[in-house]
Chain A
Amino acid sequence: MAARKKTAGGTREPDGSHRAIRTIAPAAPPPGPRPSDHLSRAQQLELYYWMRLTRTLEERLVALYRQTKVVGGLFRSLGQEADAVGSTFALERRDVMSPLIRNMGSMLVKGATPLEILRQYMAKSDSPTRGRELNIHFGDLDRGFIGQISPLGDMVPVMAGVTLSFKLRGEDRVGLVYVGDGATSTGAFHEGINFAAVQRCPLVVVVESNQYAYSTPSWKQTAAKQMVDKGPGYGVATEQADGNDVLAVYDVTKRAVDRARAGGGVTLVELITYRRKGHAEHDNQSYVPEGEIEWWEANNDPIDRYLAVMRESLGFAEAEIAATDARVRTVVDEATEIAEASPFPEPLDCLTGIYADPPAETPLWFREGTRAAVERNERAEGWGTWNAGADEATR
C-alpha cells in the first residue's frame, strides 16, 4: 500500500485544518430499560455469530479476490459489522430490508447464505442473479431483502413504495433501508424520505455515518453537523447511536422499528461508525490522515468491544465463543468449496428474462448459428417492382 499522506480527510477544525477522527459522540440513550435487555442468551450469542461470520466471510473473499476468483470489485465492511448486524437484528422475518454495499452482515441476518454471497462474487451460474449482478447486489422477497443498485439513494424511494404497500394493505410489516453518509446528498434520498414522511410509511431510514464516501469525508458531503440533523426538516423522528456498539445499534433501531409498526411513520437513524478499508479493495486510502485507521483498529473495533461485553457483563465462557468461531470457520470453508466447484453461466442465458413476456430475446444474427434477417426476406424477383403506371403519374 502506498504511504498515506495527510490530506483532506478526517474532521474539520474551526480554523479549517483537519485532524483524524478519533471519537464518536452520539446522543445519550434515553433512561430506563433498553430493548437489548430483553434479548435472550441465544440472541446475544447470535449477534456475535453474525458479526464474526461477516468478518470471516469477507476475509475469505479477500483471499479469493487475490486469487482472481472474485472477478469484480470487493467491498469490505471491516469495522462496521456491528451497525449492519445490530440494526437488521431489530426486524422481524416478515419485514423487508434493503442493504447497501457494506451491509453483508444485514443480509446474513435476513437469511442470505455465505454460499450465495460467494457464488455471487465469483459470478457463478447458480449465484442468486445467475451471474448478472455483482457482489452483494441481490435480494429475495420471501426472506425480505431487496437488492440495491449502484446509484446511491435510489433504494429510499423504492423502500418508500414497499412500505406504502404495507400501509395500503394494512399489513403489519416494516421496511428498513440503508444509506451511507454520501447518499444523503442525493435527490433520490430527499425525495424518498420526504415522500415516505408525508405518507407516514412504516419505514426506518438508517444512515451509516462511516466518515467517508469513497474518498470524500463527511464534512465535504454536507454542511449539517451530523446526519441526524436532517430529520427535523422532513418532520420525521430521529435516533442516533454509536454504530460500533452492537447493543446500542439494536436499541435505537428497535425503537424506530417499533415506532413504524405502531403507525408512527418514518425514523431517520444515524449510526456513527468508521470505514477501515477503502471504498473497495483497489482503494489505497491515500486520502486518510495518518494514524486514523490504526487508531480505530486498536481502540474501537466492534467485535472486540462486543467480546468484552460478552465476557464481562453477559457471562459468556471462552469455550462458547471459541465454539462459535469454529462454527463460522466450518460454514465458510464448506460454502467456499461448493462455490468454487460451481460452473460459470452459459452465454445464451443472458438473453432471457428482460421481460415477463416474451421469455427470450433473439440472438443477434452475426452470432454463430443464426441466420441474417436479410436472408429470411430475400427478394426472389429482384429489383424494381415499381408500378410503371404510378411511376408515370408522379414524374
Chain B
Amino acid sequence: MSEITYLEAIRQALFDEMERDPSVFCIGEDIGAFGGAFKVTEGLLAKYGESRVIDSPISEIGIVGAAAGAAHMGLRPVVEMQFIDFIANAYDILTNYVATARYRAFLPCPMVVRGPSGGYVRGGPFHSQNPEAGFIHTPGLKVVYPSTVADAYGLMKAAIRDDDCVLFFEHKHLYRRIKGVLPEGDGVVPIGKARVAREGGDLSIITYAAAVHKSLEAAEQLQREDGISVEVVDLRSLAPLDDEAIVATVKKTNRVLIVHEDTRTGGLAGELTARINESCFAWLDAPVMRVTAHDVPLPYAPALEDYVLPQASDVVRAARWVARY
C-alpha cells in the first residue's frame, strides 16, 4: 500500500464506514459540494448523495442536536465542526443532552463529532483551539485525539462503530504533514488504549496529538546530546484514559513529564498527575512536571504563537530537569 496523509486516512475511514454501514451519514457546514473547509469530506457527496452527506446551516446546536435525535433512532451520524473552536456553540447540547442521554434516559447516542483542532498554523484565537479538557471532564462523552495515520484511520472507524458519542479531534497541523501506510485488515484501533510511540528507560513523556511529534523530536535530541533514554507514550484516547499504560510507564522509568498543547490550568496534565499520585506515587523518583501552552488565548503572530505553544526545545529543557532531579 502507498503512503497517505493523516487527512486522507480520516477521509478513507469515512468512505469505508459509509460503505460498510448504510446507517452512517455525514452532516456539517460546507462538507458536501465544497468537500469541507479542509477537504476531509471531499468526494463523499458524489458517492453517497445528499441524503447521506448533508450540507447544514451554520448551526452547531442544530446539527449536534439533530445528530443526537437521528442517533436515538438508529442512525450513526458523523458531525463536522468546521473548526473545533466552534464546538463551544454546541457545549450545552453535548454536555447536557448527549452526554447524559444513556445514563438518564437509556437512549443510545452513537455519533461522532469531529473537527480540525490545534495550533502551530497561525490560525489565531478562533482557529487554533484545543478544547478537549471541557469534554474529558464530562462523564458520558468519549474523546480521542490521534497523532498518526494509522490511528487517525483506526480511531475514526472505532468512533463511528462505538455505541456512544465520541469526540474526534483532528490536528490540522498534522493533516498533510504526517504520512504513513494503513495497516492490513480493518485497522480498527480500540478506544481507551494508549500507544508507546518510542521505547525508553530513563524518563517517560506522556502526551498526545501534535505534541507527540514535538516530544519525539525532543527524545531524539535527549538521546543524542544527553544519553537519556526517553519513552514517549501517546495517549490517543483522552476519555477514557488508559490507566494501565500510564502506570506501566511510571513503573518502568520512575520519572514523568507530561506534554500537551492545551493551556495549563485545568488541562489534562493536572488530571494525569493526580492519577499518578493516587496510583503509583511510590514509584516516582521525581515530581511529575508538565509542559503546556501558556494560559492565554492563542495569538496570531508567529513570534507570539511560537512562544505560547510548547516547542521541542521546551520539552528538552523540562525533560533534563526531571531526569536530573
Q: Which A positions have Cβ atoms within 8 angstroms of B?
A: 129, 132-133, 137-139, 141, 146-147, 149-151, 154, 156-166, 168, 187-188, 191-192, 194-196, 198-199, 353-357, 365, 372-374, 376-379, 383-387, 390, 393-395
Given A141-B72, A374-B282, A386-B285, A160–B66 Cβ distance below 8 Å?
Answer: yes
Check if B102 is an interface residue, CB within 8 A of chain A: yes
- Known A-B contacts A154-B93, A355-B164, A393-B227; the reply to A165 vs B75 at CB < 8 A is yes
Taking the closest CB of chain B, its distance from the CB of A157, in whole angstroms, is 3
Contacts of B66 in A (CB 8 A): 157-158, 160-161, 164, 192, 195-196
- Count chain A CB atoms within 10 A of each CB in B25, B93, B281 and give the residue with the most: B93
Task: Tell me whether B247 is interfacial, beta carbon within 8 Å.
Answer: yes
B301 within 8 A of A: no
| Chain A residues within an 8 Å CB radius of B92 | 151, 154, 188
The 9 closest A-B pairs by CB, nearest first: A157-B65, A161-B69, A161-B66, A191-B62, A356-B163, A373-B279, A195-B62, A379-B282, A162-B69
Residues in B whose Cβ lies below 8 Å from that of A154: 61, 65, 92-93, 96-97
Interface residues of B in 60-98 (CB under 8 A from A): 60-75, 77, 92-93, 96-97
Indicate if the CB atoms of B282 and A387 lie closer than 8 Å: no
Interface contact A354-B103, CB-CB below 8 Å: yes
Known: A161-B70, A192-B62, A394-B324. A198 touches B57 (CB 8 A): yes
Question: How many Å from the CB of B63 to the closest CB on chain A?
Answer: 7
> B184 on the interface (CB 8 Å rule)?
no
Q: Are B57 and A195 in contact (CB under 8 A)?
A: yes
Q: When chains A and B are docked, how far (Å) is the Cα of A337 from the Cα of B185? A: 59
Besides A160-B66, A199-B54, 6 more A-B contacts (Cβ < 8 Å) are A129-B106, A158-B72, A165-B69, A165-B74, A194-B57, A377-B247
A379: chain B residues within 8 A (beta carbon) = 251, 280, 282-283
**Cβ of A382 to closest chain B Cβ, rounded Å:** 8
Q: Are B68 and A188 in contact (CB under 8 A)?
A: no
Tell me the bound Cα distance from A232 to B96 in angstroms. Answer: 30
Cα–Cα distance between A224 and B228 once the two chains are bound (Å): 69
Most chain A CB inside 10 Å of its own CB: which residue of B77, B97, B105: B105
CA distance A365 to B275 in the complex (A): 12
Complex: A163 Cα to B69 Cα, angstroms: 8
Q: Given A149-B97, A379-B282: A390 and B228 within 8 A (CB)?
A: yes
A383 / chain B contacts, CB cutoff of 8 Å? 282, 285
The answer on a CB contact under 8 Å between B139 and A385 is no
B229: A residues at CB distance < 8 A: 390
Pairwise interchain contact A377-B279, C-beta atoms closer than 8 A: yes
Q: How far is the CB of A314 from chain B (nearest CB, A)?
A: 38
List B residues 96-128 near A (Cβ within 8 Å).
96-97, 100, 102-108
B282 close to A395 (CB less than 8 A):
no
In the complex, how many angstroms separate the beta carbon of B287 from the nearest chain A beta carbon? 14
Whose C-beta in chain A lies nearest to the C-beta of B247?
A: A377
Task: Indicate whether B226 reaches chain A with its CB closer than 8 angstroms.
Answer: yes
Q: Which residue of A lies closest to B59 (CB)?
A: A191
B51: Cβ under 8 A from any A Cβ: yes
Would you list 12 pairs from A and B whose C-beta atoms are within 8 A, ordered by A residue?
Answer: A137-B104, A146-B72, A149-B97, A149-B100, A161-B71, A162-B70, A355-B142, A355-B163, A356-B108, A373-B280, A383-B285, A393-B226
